[in-house]
Structure 1
Amino acid sequence: MDHDEQSLHASSFGAAAVAYAEHRPDYAQAAVRWALEPAPGPRVLDLGAGTGKLTTTLVALGAQLIAVEPDPAMLTELRRALPSVRALAGSAEAIPLPDASVDAVLAGNAMHWFDMAVAGPEIARVLAPGGVLAGLWNLMDDQVDWVAGLAQVGGSAAVGPRDTPASWRAVTADMHLPRSGAAARFGAPEQAEFPHGQRRTADSLGATLATRAGMLVMPEAEREAALGRIRAFLASRPETAHGEFTLPMLTGVLRVRRL
């Protein structure tokens, strides 16, 4: 994906902020605990916080929390849902916090949008020594037969390279972390995955997939055709055709410590 395409995808979520807030899943608490495990203190920055999906889990775990989000519509939804959380306009490339002011920086389904050449030094700046940087991604468990079929039917716009476990492991093995000068400020990366799930119906799962960046930037006719294929597939499967079901998921975590 070139820079212009990356920017288009990254900026697509604001128009779907309400649907994103309604349909995107939260994160497995065990995954968030693991991400925070090495942190030297309780001060956490949720960076690229969106509508507050990861923020909600961090609140439940008792973190001393600040959220930062660049998109005004997403930030509005976050503030509406979590009025007690300090939520600031800002980005990974320009974090509105003082030096060494947090013990952990977490990013939920957001780190792949960061320009790490700029964001890496910024994250290192706001992290206290020994602090943690962790990205979390919710993955569809395509070891389950019907989920693998859905990934094929939906195509890369609906189920992308960070949306299933094997592809996530490969993509995050050498990407999405600070590089060059900033990399010297961080230790070796670690990966882990934790069971998760989301209660869905065929309609609400289709609505969830419609909030993916690849779907949001599609021409309307193409998007509706893709969603039609997804609906038809879900209606054809006994696991998903009748009422509520659990979408089998994993929360994948990539973490690294500031030296």
Structure 2
Amino acid sequence: MATREEMSRSFGSAASVYESGRPEYPADAVAWLLAPARRDGHSLRVADVGAGTGKLTRAVVEAGAEVVAIDPDAEMLGVLRDNVRRVPTFVGTAESLPLPDASLDAVVLGQAWHWVDPVPASAEVARVLRPGGVLGLIWNVRDDDEPWVRRLTGIMHGSRAEEMIAEGGPTVAAPFTGLEEQSWHWSRPMTRDALFDMARSRSYIITAPPDERERIEAGLAELFDELGAVGDATVDLPYVTRAYRAVRP
């Protein structure tokens, strides 16, 4: 099995399927993340860290913020630049941000905080935030209360993020002292190809040996056949978006 480091840096090789298969973020959830950082008469300055192909970046831009995108993988940032125009991009991590002190109103991470070391990452995020700025963490998680989705998760193997949320959610460290939490339920219509791309964008599958990938794909194909996800037909995949925020003292 691949190491945590190998899995965390695996996404660049699957950037195109990540862009196709991963869902967008609900606008209401992004607005909630950013709300404490808004100040009358000031535009929001936000860093999307672990930005990947720009799924969250897009939503933050649409919320009216000035955004920089940061990711450890240059391949992912290349796809981001193709999809989100006029957003500066930098290679970096939550533990080492290429940004000046107190320069931001918010730092957000989508599907990413479970890959970081929360102690140095919290300190580094606090360094680049102004007092009163916001650390926002967000995940789109499939709703396993639906039986077929629970079966889907079993075939694909649970992710680090899903395990972390099931165990009580993310951890932050000083100077942040706690997290507010909110959730949104929604669904995404997906074709068979998009469902496969969603699965193929997961680090466990990207790094799995060929025989394990073959086993997973056979199980997925059987499930998708049963669901009627054939050709252009769509299936509604239910999600729960879980968002967490903390204000820098």
TM norm. shorter chain > 0.5: yes
Give SS of 1:249's match: strand
Pick one of 139, 152, 165 that aligns with 1:168: 165
Deviation at 1:155, TM superposition (A): 2.7
Pick one of 71, 96, 100 that aligns with 1:69: 71
| 1:205 partnered with 2:177 | no
| 1:38 partnered with 2:36 | yes
Alpha-carbon deviations, 1:60-94, whole Å to 9, x = none?
11111111111010011111111211112211111
Deviation at 1:171, TM superposition (A): 4.1
2:18 maps to 20
| 1:177 partnered with 2:172 | yes
Conserved? CA contact 1:203–1:231, under 8 Å? no
Deviation at 1:203, TM superposition (A): 2.9
Give SS of 2:3's match: helix
2:245 maps to 255
Conserved? CA contact 1:40–1:130, under 8 Å? no
Which amino acid is the alignment partner of residue 70 of structure 2?
V
Alpha-carbon deviations, 1:67-124, whole Å to 9, x = none?
1111010011111111211112211111111111111110000111112232221101
Deviation at 1:40, TM superposition (A): 4.2
Give SS of 2:120's match: helix
Which amino acid is the alignment partner of residue 92 of structure 2?
G
Which amino acid is the alignment partner of residue 253 of structure 1?
A
Deviation at 1:237, TM superposition (A): 2.8
| 1:144 partnered with 2:146 | yes
Gaps of 5+ in 1: none
Give SS of 1:226's match: helix
Deviation at 1:170, TM superposition (A): 2.5
Q: How many Å separate the matches in 1 of 2:62 and 2:139?
A: 19
Deviation at 1:39, TM superposition (A): 1.2
Q: How many Å separate the matches in 2 of 1:134 and 1:194?
A: 15
Runs of 4+ in 1 over 4 A off after TM superposition: none
Q: Percent identity?
A: 36
| 1:245 partnered with 2:247 | no
Q: How many Å separate the matches in 2 of 1:161 and 1:92?
A: 17
Which amino acid is the alignment partner of residue 161 of structure 2?
R
Conserved? CA contact 2:172–2:178, under 8 Å? no
Q: How many Å separate the matches in 2 of 1:30 and 1:90?
A: 28
2:119 maps to 117
TM-score, length of structure 2 as denominator length: 0.91
Q: How many Å separate the matches in 2 of 1:151 and 1:169?
A: 14
1:223 maps to 213
Give SS of 1:100's match: coil
Pick one of 177, 181, 192 that aligns with 1:191: 181
Pick one of 5, 8, 11 that aligns with 2:6: 8
Pick one of 57, 60, 82 that aligns with 1:58: 60
Q: How many Å separate the matches in 2 of 1:63 and 1:143?
A: 35
RMSD between superposed Cα atoms in Å: 1.9
Alpha-carbon deviations, 1:143-174, whole Å to 9, x = none?
22221222223332xxx25348xx625241xx
Conserved? CA contact 1:116–1:177, under 8 Å? yes
Conserved? CA contact 1:27–1:196, under 8 Å? no
- Alignment: residue pair count: 244
Gaps of 5+ in 2: none
1:83 maps to 85
1:135 maps to 137
Alpha-carbon deviations, 1:202-246, whole Å to 9, x = none?
2321221111011111001211211110110121135x4571122
TM-score, length of structure 1 as denominator length: 0.88
Q: How many Å separate the matches in 2 of 1:136 and 1:199?
A: 21
